[in-house]
Amino acid sequence: MRHTRTSAHVPGKAFATFRTAGLVALAASGALLLGACDDNNHSNTPNPTASFQDAAHAFARGGAVDGGNVGPTDLAAAGGANSQLVKDGQNVFRYWTFGDEQVWTDTLKMNQVIESKVDPATALSVGLKVDMDALPQAVVNGVVNGSIPLNDPQTTLALIQLNAVVGVKGEVSTNPTTGKLQLDRVGVTCALCHSTVDNAANVATGGKLPDGIGHRHDGWPNRDLNPGAIIALSPAIASAPAAADGTARAAVYNSWGPGHYDPRFNIDNKNQSAAVIPPAFGLDGIHSITFSGDGSELAYWNRYVGVTQMGGQGVMADPRLPDPLGATTPMDRDQRGTGTDCATDITVNGTAIKIGGQNITGSDGKVDCTSNYLPALQAYQQSLPAPKPADVDGFANNHPVVAANLTPNPNASAANGQAVFAKDCASCHSGAAFTDANTGLHPMEASAAPDQTYLERSASKMWRTSPLPGLWMHPPYFHDGSAATLAAVVTAYNTKLNLNLSAQDQADLVEYLKSL
């Protein structure tokens, strides 16, 4: 039996003991889910603003009801980095689940898994992150002095209640009989995969707090996150149908590994290579999105993920993709729901936050918790610049390749590397973002990545040239993560394109790429 949810503050020793650990554990549980959404006001009713038009939602590339693009073309069109649209988009990115609790709680039962099995130490071990700026000082002190345990799922629930687990939203209540916290609803947000932290808490406490707790860096891909391992913890996965090749579903999820996710598996049921989680920064003015450039704006991929992967309440259609599994009929998915879990008021560390946007209730009573939030989400993503080395505060502690990228090679010249780049790379990696994505896509054979099957499962069947700014912070490289270092990327293209670069030229080119 579930009971009335407690406030965002847990008084006394329980507050200090459970909040920090709970947050970390919750982060782990959130990773276990596919990407459900949740809000703190589960009982809030949706705010109808428009009539739902079935035919109008059969869009292919954009996010709009009429099938066209919905978001601003660039940050300037959004009103600049300080616009209300961007501020609303930050809250959507961090805290809006699109109502995906209908999957993570109702189907996957991840709230039960987290409540009973996921302590903060476990959560951190699978790559979940904790936002130190959402933690009261008493919680930080309690973790440092050991009075708040990191091996208790109750601590995880308290952290979730604080909205401190990056990308995880939960509704937590107190059982009046036992006095223990319980997780009634749980979902995930965009930040689960596309935000990380800088390990500043470890630096500030002289190593007394573990890595994985720090200041948020939205847009940075969480390459530590192991979403497959998290999803495999769901009790629903054990009885789920096997993949097309007969492999047990849990085995497929567990094969992906940290930093990888297959956004096509639940569409085509094929057990193939998972892609690395891509960065969501440095995208201002770039219109072809994802490795395969499937959409004409960020809203396309945000809708695809929000509805088909996170399990949000909304619609997604694309005649180039099959749906349901293995079918020849085009994707035209209607996952509108009751509007439960789509309340727009939440509390973060005692501060009330209102999610900017409105739900759409159709004439049939079904609610779309996705469409009207896409413009703001796109604007916020456009506002996220590529990181600079100065942005790192302990991030390289547990990322050795990043540390190497930040270390100058005294035997290499970035200036010479820039000349090599201009001669051999700039025809595709052009412009301020080093991509020709707005002018065209490239055929399968253009990539030096060993895996090509991923492209066959896309809508475009083409490659987008990846933007390069901030390249130093998100190894491994290529869509499949097959190149562990930038040196491996250069070697792969030197071989594929017969560039005949000398060892010195290759070293110089790597040094230049590290500087972007």
CB atoms within 10 A of CB 62: 19
Q: How far apart are CA 166 and CA 164, in angstroms?
A: 6
Q: What is the pLDDT of residue 56?
A: 35
Residue 476 DSSP class: S
Q: How far apart are CA 332 and CA 334, in angstroms?
A: 7
Does residue 450 register a pLDDT over 50?
Answer: yes
Rounded to an integer, the average pLDDT of 123-131 is 96
Q: Name the CATH topology of 399-514.
A: Cytochrome Bc1 Complex; Chain D, domain 2 (1.10.760)
**Cα–chain center distance at 233:** 19
DSSP string of 57-111? Answer: G--SSS-STTSS--S-SSTTTTT-TTSHHHHHHHHHHHH--TTTHHHHTTTT-HH
DSSP string of 162-217? Answer: TT-BTTEEEEEEE-TTT--EEEEEEEE-THHHHEEE--HHHHHTTTSSPTTEE-EE
Measured CA angle at 6 (ends 3, 10), to 5 deg: 135
User: Which whole-number Å values give the CA distances from 405 to 409, 414, 467, 479, 514, in the listed order?
Assistant: 9, 13, 17, 19, 6
- pLDDT for 281-325, tens place per residue? 999 999 888 899 988 889 999 999 999 999 999 988 888 888 776
Q: How far apart are CA 143 and CA 137, in angstroms?
A: 10
Measured CA angle at 410 (ends 409, 413), to 5 deg: 80
Does residue 335 register a pLDDT over 70?
Answer: yes
Of 54-63, 149-158, 427-436, the least confident: 54-63
Average pLDDT in the chain: 85
Q: What is the pLDDT of residue 326?
A: 67
Does residue 6 register a pLDDT over 90?
Answer: no
Q: Are 383 and 92 in contact (CB under 8 A)?
A: no
Higher pLDDT, 454 or 100: 100
Rounded to an integer, the average pLDDT of 168-180 is 95
- pLDDT for 479-506, tens place per residue? 999 999 999 999 999 999 999 999 999 9
Does residue 202 register a pLDDT over 80?
Answer: yes
Rounded to an integer, the average pLDDT of 429-446 is 93
Contacts 24+ apart (CB under 8 A), 254-259: 254/228, 254/229, 255/228, 256/226, 256/227, 256/228, 256/229, 257/226, 257/228, 258/127, 258/223, 258/224, 258/225, 258/226, 259/127, 259/221, 259/222, 259/223, 259/224, 259/225, 259/226, 259/476, 259/481
The H-assigned helical ranges of 233-292 are 249-256, 265-268
Domain extents in the chain: 12-383, 399-514
Q: What is the pLDDT of residue 355?
A: 84
Q: How far apart are CA 256 and CA 390, in angstroms?
A: 31
Structure token digits, residue 437: 């994505």
Q: Determine which helix (DSSP H) or strand (DSSP E) holds 114, and give its type and residue range.
A: helix 110-117
Higher pLDDT, 391 or 301: 301
Of 104-113, 261-270, 389-398, 498-507, the least confident: 389-398
Find all residues with CB under 8 Å of 251, minimum gap 6, and list them.
Answer: none
Rounded to an integer, the average pLDDT of 234-257 is 96
Cα torsion 114, 116, 117, 121: sign: positive
Q: How far apart are CA 504 and CA 516, in angstroms?
A: 19
Beta strands in 342-422 (DSSP E): 345-348, 351-354, 360-361, 367-368
